[in-house]
Amino acid sequence: MSSPETTTDQSGSNKQQRRRRRHHFILVHGVCHGAWCWYRVATALSSAGHRVTALDMAACGARPGRADEVPSFERYTAPLLDAVADQDGEEKAVVVAHSFGGQSLALAMEKHPEKIAVAVFVTATMPAAGKSMSFAFKQLSQGKDADFFMDCTIRTIGDPQNPDKTFLFGPEYLARRVYQLSPPEDLALAMSTVRPSRRFLNDATMNGDVLTEGRYGTVRRVYVVAEEDEWKPAEIQRLMVSWNPGTEVRALQGADHMPMFSKARELSELLMEIANKYS
């Protein structure tokens, strides 16, 4: 750290050096979405000189296949696990996950904690060490009946003796509870691009004792609260933070469930600030 005697010019130079630091951002989408939802943030980060990897999870975005063909949550998450594992040498990634993507990020943290400089949960599901990942999902689902999901489509798939479900946002639900503060062109993009996602309710990884304090719990993490999220209210976001002591909390005012659209510039700047702090 600079001494109190550092001159103004030196201080300015130090700040410029911090701003010029280059990071590798890995961006993880939420349910029904794909890498496409990060286009505003990815453009801002890459324009600032950073390396950006926006991923499609299995059977999501531009990847081929159907949700009901993905056999497990770990297979669903494989694109992220591979991207984190493939970090060169001592390089560590800044991994940013949105919504359901938080559970994929948690699994990557458990498997490759040494490869992640900081994990950023953007209004994301944030599991707790020592509890199943499905515990977080069940907490988020409490009190939400079928009427809450309006015109969303939920279908039963798989073995009748051990069924699972797929989920697809409806246009009205997207407009009123997910994108209500986002630009209309981004809502239109979502309406034409979202795909059904498997929920993995009975998956062994989702329901097992997978996340440990010694691995998952050692990764530095930041939670970005979307204050106007209608789908995952701010109090629920902060509840998940309370399960993970030591998590830094940053808030975005005026952000709906899609801060990468409703507050794209502010989120991009915040991600670069977080990366500089923790890398």
Catalytic residue from among 23, 24, 98, 257: 257
Token pair for 160: 């009748």
For the chain, percent of residues with pLDDT exceeding 70: 91
Show me where the domains of the chain are located. 24-137+198-278
Q: Does residue 229 have an active-site annotation? A: yes
Q: Express each pLDDT in 113-129 by its tens digit.
A: 999 999 999 999 999 99
Does residue 140 have a pLDDT over 80? no
pLDDT digits (tens, 9 = 90+) for 32-64: 999 999 999 999 999 999 999 999 999 999 999
Q: In sequence order, what E strands does the chain have?
A: 24-28, 51-54, 93-98, 116-122, 153-157, 164-168, 197-198, 221-226, 248-252
Q: Among this protein's residues, is 24 annotated catalytic? A: no
| 251 vs 149 pLDDT, higher one | 251
| pLDDT tens, position by position, 201-219 | 889 999 999 999 999 999 9
pLDDT score of 146 more than 70? no
pLDDT at 279: 84
- 176 closest CA partner among 154, 140, 147, 196: 147
Asked whether the predicted pLDDT for residue 131 surpasses 80, the reply is yes
Distance of CA 43 to the CA centre of its chain: 17
The active-site residue out of 164, 186, 203, 229 is 229
pLDDT of residue 120: 99
Q: Which fold has domain 24-137+198-278?
A: Rossmann fold (3.40.50)
Judge whether residue 19 has pLDDT over 70. no
